[in-house]
Chain A
Amino acid sequence: MAPEIVLKDATTKLTEYEATGGYGALAKARAMTPAEVTEELITSELRGRGGAFFPAGRKWSFVPSKEQLPKPHYLVVNADESEPGSFKDNEILSRVPHRFIEGCLITAHAIDCDKVFVYIRGEYSGPYEILVGALEELKDRPEIRGNVTIVVHRGAGAYICGEETALLESLEGKRGQPRSKPPFPAISGLYASPTVVNNVETITTVPPVIAMGGAEYAKLGVPNTRGTRVVSISGNVVNGGNYEIEAGTSLREIIYDLGGGIAGGRELKAVVPGGSSTVILTKDEIDVGYDFDSLGQLRTAMGSAGIVVLDDRCCIVQLGIRFSEFYEHESCGKCTPCREGTRWLTAILRKLDDGRATQGDLDLLLDVCDRINGKCLCPLGDSDAIIVASYVAKFRDEFQAHIDQGGCPLDGHSSLDHVLAPVQMHAHSPAAHGPEVRA
């Protein structure tokens, strides 16, 4: 197990943070030029922890100089963590708020900006209060704050705002609907100015990278995934929670050693490895390193590191229903394939679950997936299509059994039986009115 880097010496108090060397990396960074700080990040090979895994130092290096483009620069931190299965940023903000703030200040120095916006999801009242409290402690410490203003901007309940361009729209006071790219935020982001958008965990990893040096940090982990990751474990495990691991640690070890194994002595059935949007793994696929390349070989991803463990009571068709209902609810409505497709996926899956499906419905389900995937502005609709197709690919016998037996083989004993999803409370939902989707 790696030493803790992001979550170590947890404290919300400034004096305690400083006593363990806190804000030392900031002083070190300010003695360096912005280009040197960025170079250190590039050397560290740190990649974005929000899900897209883009090299952080390279992202910073895309910001044009103020001579090239005379506009203010902005740092926007994505704290809109809403991916089902992921709750690491919640823990990071709650336990090490000053390390997070230090990361903001170092990054601001690296990209030559004096205004930082932290976009935190509206539901995170607890982490918000802790973060505001930590910023309050810096009121009388101008030598730490420098010329940088940090504004904490609260969202109001919209998963789509975790997508960086939707986040920028929302931060500008608009509906959170993604923009088409290019232009990329590094050139034209917030208020049409050069903007770096980084995830909370990425930003909180910056101080230790500077403190230990990029080369030292890059000794941890495996090629293409350096350093540590804070993973969120949930579902049918004994010890759900967040754990910082060295990249490349085996998924089996994460589930059984850190998560304590399957709760209630039951059998493992499947694992969602990186939040709801990632391709599912069967119980036979967990002897895999938790890193970009190893998971990539199984055509899945670390995503936002939300590991959802599912035991043998979980009906995979119902898993598809519940996640599709989520994407249907959270679709911003801008692109037709996503807005209409997600609700079709829900409806066809529901037909399977209700025992009304015929053989053609399984083909129709995959056809709808194909008509969504790759045809939307942002990854939201794609995610629903990719995961549902992966459920069919890996659990085809179970889907077939729903057709052959006229409903769920678990016969009311699935752990996801009749779960009320928020979308069912809306008038436009097929579930609210029950019109049958006809294949």
Chain B
Amino acid sequence: MTPNLYEAIQAERGKYPAGSESAVLPALRLAQAEHGWLSPDVIREVADALDETPAYVKSIASFYDQFHLAPIGEHLVEVCTNVSCAVVGAQQVVEAFENGLGCRAGETSADGKVTLRAVECLGGCGWATIVAVDHHYRTHVEADDVPAIVEELRGT
């Protein structure tokens, strides 16, 4: 683990009462931001930094949807397909991404650039369809908007 990441994790621990395990989520978030995903090695390092067992830390990482226990692409595209988005065309948006990226939802494009996922309600229902690109929301996305987004992500 880099000294910077270790220090950042210790800073998170300082926000919570001594002896609590509250810093597990912030620590996993920091580690994932640095490594892209949570490999067994990274889980072990996070556990060491928190004085926890790797098994405990993995039990937390596996519970939450935003933690990746397998490698993902350089960019993450998440399309909300819950009802409010679905009734205005979210499925067509998913399919446009699948066509543009040449991979199915849940997979990463062959060039390793983009991972595509369908996700549960992102909390932007009135501005549907919501697509989170690298965790920032694009609103009112329609299937016709997708080729430009794919182009943008491939170019960076």
Contact = CB atoms under 8 A, between A and B. Distances in A.
A323 B126 contact: no
Given A151-B15, A174-B21, A425-B106, A90 B118 contact: no
A188 to B, nearest CB: 15
A234 interface: yes
B81 A85 contact: no
A191 interface: yes
A117 to B, nearest CB: 9
A293 interface: no
Interface residues on B, range: 35 or more
Given A85-B125, A306-B125, A425 B118 contact: yes
A152 B80 CA distance: 25
User: Of B28, B60, B126, which is in contact with the most chain A CB atoms at under 10 Å from its CB?
Assistant: B126
Contact of A276 (B23, B28, B83, B87): B83
Given A329-B120, A425-B106, A236 B87 contact: yes
B105 A415 contact: no
B17 interface: yes
A422 B128 contact: no
Given A85-B125, A242-B126, A314-B87, A156 B117 contact: no
Contact of A322 (B20, B83, B125, B135): B83
Contacts of B119: 123, 422
A226 interface: no
Contact of B25 (A85, A86, A153, A263): A153
Nearest to B105: A420
Contact of A155 (B25, B82, B118, B126): B25
Given A191-B20, A322-B82, A322-B86, A123 B122 contact: yes
A116 to B, nearest CB: 12
Interface in A288-315: 306, 308, 310-311, 313-314
Interface stretch (B2-10, B64-72, B145-153): B64-72
A124 interface: yes
Contacts of A424: 118
Contacts of A413: none
A125 B136 contact: yes
Contacts of A313: 87
Contacts of A419: 81, 86, 90-91
Contacts of B90: 419
B39 interface: no
A263 B84 CA distance: 13
A260 B106 CA distance: 36
User: Of A308, A419, A424, which is in contact with the most chain B CB atoms at under 10 Å from its CB?
Assistant: A419
A294 B39 CA distance: 52
A121 interface: yes
Interface in A253-289: 263, 272, 276
Given A156-B64, A416-B86, A422-B119, 20 more contacts: A84-B84, A84-B125, A85-B125, A86-B125, A122-B66, A125-B137, A153-B22, A154-B29, A157-B65, A157-B66, A171-B22, A173-B21, A173-B24, A173-B60, A174-B60, A240-B127, A241-B126, A272-B83, A276-B83, A425-B106
20 contacts: A87-B123, A121-B123, A153-B22, A155-B64, A156-B67, A157-B65, A158-B65, A173-B24, A176-B64, A232-B126, A236-B87, A276-B83, A308-B84, A326-B82, A330-B120, A332-B63, A415-B88, A421-B118, A422-B65, A425-B105
Interface of B: 15-17, 20-26, 28-29, 59-60, 63-67, 81-84, 86-88, 90-91, 94, 105-106, 117-128, 132, 135-137
